[in-house]
Amino acid sequence: MTSLRVGIAGLGTVGAGVVRLLQDNAELIAMRAGMPVLVTAVSARDRGLDRGVSLAGLRWHDDARALASDADVDVVVELIGGAEGLAKSLVELSIAAGKPVVTANKALLAIHGTALAQAAEESGVVLGFEAAVAGGIPVIKALREGLAGNRISRVAGILNGTCNYILTVMRVEGKDFAEVLADAQALGYAEADPSFDVDGVDAAHKLAILAALVFGRKVDFEAVHVEGIRRINALDISFAEELGYRIKLLGIAQEAEAGVEMRVHPAMVPKAALLASVDGVFNAVLAQGDFVGQVFLQGRGAGAGPTASAVVADLIDIARGSNIPVWGAAGGLLSASPAVPISQHHGAYFLRLMVVDQPGVLADVTAILRDHGVSLESMLQHGRKPGEAVPIVLVTHETNEAAIEKAIARIAMLEAVLETPALIRIEPS
């Protein structure tokens, strides 16, 4: 092979970025890959759209699936997106045709990653996905290769830039979620339908991938506990600051006695922790290895340049002849460790109540917590407004999730409690 010939499906922001990177840095990439890496064919929905890059001399396929059988394409780059439909068909057809695939499609891998990895293993081809998690941060290579000799006990990350931007602005400007979301949409940081981001699904797809890598297990998106940030308000963020925390949407995968926890949810993070300082649209991943200790990676998690950088890194590996198992080990060697439900989580909690300021309310609340074995570390209440609504914040010692949920259900039934209590888990780092 004198060059690596690339077919790209999807010429949106990332696809155009890949074309531009391969053109602009062609000489450097050829030196590092050991051969030229050339785009020979493309596919997208609109031929006439100006994408800001030259497509002169490239074959155009109206049906992206034709890339799988194109004799002048050695490797297929799938940048269409979505867990089903055309993206899935193209990847399956390409692997069956014996062609390596590079994708940025976290939803596809989170849902179908086990089957696709098995197909790639049987065909002896690479399935590269550095761009699927944390954009330009080389987290896949770090976990699967750089830390291959370590037993990783925990990985935690800020995996969605939209949520991190919203929470950052809420803290800095003292605004509530709805107002900041509208601003983020106007600036292009959030989609017109932001559900995929703000409800935690995007981060959960990425966490399912990281958990499979870190613990050498089959990818299992359905086992990930998912919560978004819609219920976080300015009051929560203000109390968090007062208590010495920042609120972040975290994806966490960690070993537990009964198996592996996988969860995405808002969390209180100590201000001194590395993840607490990651603001705006940035992503970050923190891994804990038994020999290396903590490893912290931070950078831009989306956008044309960072994501294209990750795609091209995979292409260079393919040109060099690298073929590492998708989940870090052959399919038959993957762990069967069970997923641990969120009800078995053990940790500390932030609990905010909106209550009528009247005698006996706090006594009733603390009695319920006591009945469920939940002890308190601290409490915050600012001033008195007899007969009016006031917030009360309680911070618990470590306890069981099932216990705190049962306690909250009873607390919510108290006549003096005016709205559903807010519960946020507290993480050590």
Query: d(Cα 386, Cα 384) in Å, to the nearest integer?
Result: 6
CATH of the domain at 28: 3.40.50.720
Q: Which residue has the tokens 């785009």?
A: 39
Q: Are both 369 and 264 inside the same structural domain?
A: no
> Residue 187: what pLDDT?
82
- Identify the pLDDT of residue 303: 85
- Domain co-membership, 166 together with 111: no
- Residue 248 pLDDT: 98
CATH code: domain of residue 376: 3.30.70.260
Same domain, 143 and 292: yes
Token pair for residue 15? 């696809």
Is residue 308 one of the residues assigned to a domain? no
Residues 249 and 351 in one domain: no
Question: Average pLDDT of the chain?
Answer: 93
Claim to verify: residue 240 and residue 383 sit in the same structural domain: no
The verdict on 379 and 265 lying in the same domain is: no
In a domain, 337, yes or no: no
Question: Domain for residue 339, yes or no?
Answer: no
Does any domain span residue 280? yes
| pTM, full prediction | 0.94
Considering Cα of 181, then 137, then 129, then 79, what sign does the dihedral take?
positive
Query: What one-letter code names the amino acid at 54?
Result: S
**More confident call, 381 vs 158:** 158
**C-alpha angle 102-26-13 in degrees, rounded to nearest 5:** 50
Query: Do residues 122 and 263 both lie within one domain?
Result: no
180 and 293 part of one domain: yes
Tell me: do 128 and 171 sit in the same domain. no
Which sequence positions are flagged as catalytic?
206
Residue 170 located in a structural domain: yes
For residues 133 and 144, membership in a common domain is answered with: no
Interval 178-198: pLDDT, tens: 999 998 888 888 888 899 999
Tens of pLDDT, residue by residue over 187-243, are: 888 888 899 999 999 999 999 999 999 999 999 999 999 999 999 999 999 999 999
The Cα 63–Cα 57 span in angstroms is 18
Mean pLDDT (whole number) for 83-106: 97
What local confidence, expressed as pLDDT, does residue 358 receive? Answer: 86
CA 181 to chain centre: 19
Residue 200, in any domain of the structure: yes
Whether residue 131 sits in one domain with residue 250: no
Q: Which domain holds residue 76?
A: 4-137+321-331
| Residue where one domain finishes, among candidates 309, 331, 353 | 331
CA distance linking residue 180 with residue 142, whole number of Å: 34
Look at residue 97 and give its three-state secondary structure. Answer: coil
In a domain, 287, yes or no: yes
Domain count, the chain: 3
DSSP assignment of 144-200: IIITTTS-EEEEEEE--HHHHHHHHHHHHH---HHHHHHHHHHHTSS-SS-HHHHTS
- Asked if pLDDT for residue 384 goes beyond 80, the answer is no
388, pLDDT greater than 90: no
| CATH number of the domain where residue 272 is located | 3.30.360.10
Token pair in block for residue 314:
């995979």
pLDDT digits over 5-38, tens only?
999 999 998 999 999 999 999 999 999 999 999 9
Q: Are 319 and 34 in contact (CB under 8 A)?
A: yes
Q: How confident is the model at residue 229, as a pLDDT?
A: 97
62 located within any domain: yes
Residue 129 and residue 248 share a domain:
no
